[in-house]
Amino acid sequence: MNKVLAWAIIFLTIGGIIYLVSNTLAPFLIAFIFAYLLQPAIDTNCRKFSLPRDVVTLGVFGLFLSSFITIMVLIAPIIYHQISAFISKIPMYKTNFDSAISAWSAKLHNVDPDLANKISDSAQNFVNGTLTLFASFANHIWQYTVATISFFTVVALIPIILYYFLRDWPQIVGNIESLLPVRSKSKVREIFNSINELLSAYIRGQLNICILLTLYYVTGLSIIGLDLALLLGIFSGFLIIIPFIGVLFSFVIVTISCYFSFGAGSELIYVIILFVIGYTVESYILTPKIIGNRIGLHPVWIIFSAFATANLFGFVGVLFAIPIAGIVKVCLSNIIEYYKSSNMYKG
């Protein structure tokens, strides 16, 4: 019992510290994830070519960073062009929406004129306010100095932190292992191995799924001719990380964007078909094949973890809801196993 209480105090203390510094964790967390993903490549090349770890680390880091910069250089002009086109078309979007509202209002006016006027006024006020706010933000984004500096500071810090994580990974692992209690070292190592297998299966698998879906959505939305196809495709492909809510949210955003662009035409049907196929392929083909049942979490537990992590860590917490829930599951399973083997349980 004393051991359980001691471990509970340790975990609560660590959790409290993480919560207190959660606002500054973003660059460290992102760098740690990339370092974790790149470790197999470093270890494999060290063994295969019998090279020093520092040399391989520098090569892998350089390749990763150059690839990332190349992708950003290629994508940034396209995103800028699409955002500019979107801003220039805002009056057209408003005209399309006003026409649709007028048509609906005319049909509803025959049934209840007062209700029709209220709905029409509310919808127009909402859309006018939303489009005005978005246009103002997009046109003056560089004037939001604090947010801009903060964003670029985080982006600039990530490669620096990533390099040190990659270089010192064996020392980090060794230092953590040296803190483990001697008598329980084998059991704790077993728990960490279970967590590592779970995270490895989820993060690498989910990243592959996100990339495949991003290519699918970007291609599909570009063929349909939707404005902001690249941004919305990336958004839809990576938002599946958020369980259940992500797909629905991206579908609503893309559908609204399509409606503003084309109205209630065939393009809207194409978008619906695109998302139905994407969701079906992701749920019944990609996820079972790539990730499988290695996470083993009940849907209710996933929903609870999404809301709990969102409350604790905000949007970043939502992104990592499933791996955090998986880690908690592994820890709880071992705690329950220990409890059932104790004299307290056996009476």
Could you report the per-residue pLDDT of 113-166, keeping only the tens digit for each?
666 666 666 666 666 666 666 666 555 555 554 555 566 666 778 888 888 898
CB neighbour class for 299 (10 Å; exposed up to 12, middle 13-18, buried from 19): exposed
The candidate with the shortest Cα–Cα distance to 261, out of 91, 47, 11, is 91
Q: Output the CA torsion 176→17→35→79 (10° steps).
A: 180
pLDDT score for 32: 85
Average pLDDT on 173-187 reads 77
26-55 burial by CB neighbour count: b if 16+ within 10 A, else e? bbbbbbbbbbbebbebbeebeeeeeeeeee
Checking phi first, is residue 51 left (phi over 0); if not, alpha (psi -120 to 50) or beta? beta
Q: What angle do CA 270, 272, 277 make, to 5 degrees?
A: 95
Question: What tokens does 160 get?
Answer: 């620096």
Q: How far apart are CA 91 and CA 88, in angstroms?
A: 7
Residue 25 carries which DSSP code? Answer: -
Token pair 């955002």 is at which residue? 83
Q: How far apart are CA 28 and CA 12, in angstroms?
A: 21
Q: Quick check: 213 and 279 in contact, CB under 8 A?
A: no
Q: Quick check: 191 and 202 in contact, CB under 8 A?
A: no
Q: Quick check: 57 and 45 in contact, CB under 8 A?
A: no
Spatial CB neighbours of 164, under 8 Å, sequence gap ≥ 6: none
Q: Quick check: 222 and 230 in contact, CB under 8 A?
A: yes
**Interval 225-247: pLDDT, tens:** 887 888 889 989 988 887 777 88
Round the average pLDDT of the chain to a whole number and report it: 77
Q: Quick check: 53 and 180 in contact, CB under 8 A?
A: no
Q: How far apart are CA 199 and CA 257, in angstroms?
A: 35
Strands (E), the chain: none
Q: Is 158 helix (H, G, I), strand (E, B) or coil?
A: helix
Q: How far apart are CA 61 and CA 187, in angstroms?
A: 34
pLDDT score for 219: 93
Average pLDDT on 280-286 reads 85
Give the model's confidence band at 18: pLDDT under 50 very low, under 70 low, under 90 confident, else very high: low
User: Does the structure show a pLDDT above 60 at 8?
Assistant: yes
| Lowest mean pLDDT segment, chosen from 23-27, 142-146, 198-202, 317-321 | 142-146
Q: Quick check: 228 and 204 in contact, CB under 8 A?
A: no
Q: Which has the higher per-residue pLDDT, 173 or 7?
A: 173
**Interval 258-272: pLDDT, tens:** 887 777 778 889 999
Q: How far apart are CA 212 and CA 237, in angstroms?
A: 8
- Of how many residues is the chain composed? 347
Distance of CA 334 to the CA centre of its chain: 28
Token pair 């929406």 is at which residue? 97
Dihedral over Cα of 319, 320, 323, 329: its sign: negative
